[in-house]
Amino acid sequence: MENRIATLLRDGQAAARAGQKAKARRKFRTVLIFDPTNVTALLWMAWLSDDPRVSLAYVAHALACDPHDPRAHAALRWARRRVTSPPPPKPPSSPAAAAPASRRRRSHLVALIALGLLIILIGGALAWSLSADLPVLTALASTPI
């Protein structure tokens, strides 16, 4: 049984170090089924937990199992800081990522302004040409055919 637990602990630690959290949790949970007071497994479960309160609960359980374990006391300080500290801020969006959207908005605005100017120019040209032809049209309208 102790060989099985030692193997599970080694496998769990290797999985945790490789970033395979789910696999590591499964290994440590299995250890805790065989030995619910295994401080090493409890501390690894605390480390792997995404919830700071759950981490603190695992550390408290480890300290209850072995109140003199220095690793458990260090883990307690870590878990307390984790519970009381605010979550890390999200990284700001980079200006490079926002630039394409900004450029698109700017190009749409420029296109709208150009279209508006084109409409004004065409409308002005039509109005000017009609007003220039108005005396001719008036004279032609009054002439009998």
pLDDT tens for each residue of 51-72: 999 999 999 999 999 999 999 9
Query: What per-residue confidence (pLDDT) applies to 98?
Result: 54
DSSP for residue 37:
T
pTM here is: 0.59
At 141, the pLDDT band (50, 70, 90 cuts) reads low
Q: Is 24 exposed, middle or buried (0-12, 13-18, 19+ CB in 10 A)?
A: buried
Least confident of 28-42, 43-57, 59-73, 116-130: 116-130
Tell me: do 26 and 55 sit in the same domain.
Answer: yes
Tell me: do 79 and 109 sit in the same domain.
Answer: no
Residue 51 forms part of a structural domain: yes
Q: How many domains does the chain have?
A: 2
Tell me: do 61 and 124 sit in the same domain.
Answer: no
Residue 90 forms part of a structural domain: no
Contact 63, 69 (CB under 8 A): yes
Tell me: do 11 and 77 sit in the same domain.
Answer: yes
Dihedral-angle region of residue 104 (phi above 0 means left; psi in -120 to 50 means alpha; beta otherwise): alpha
Dihedral-angle region of residue 39 (phi above 0 means left; psi in -120 to 50 means alpha; beta otherwise): alpha
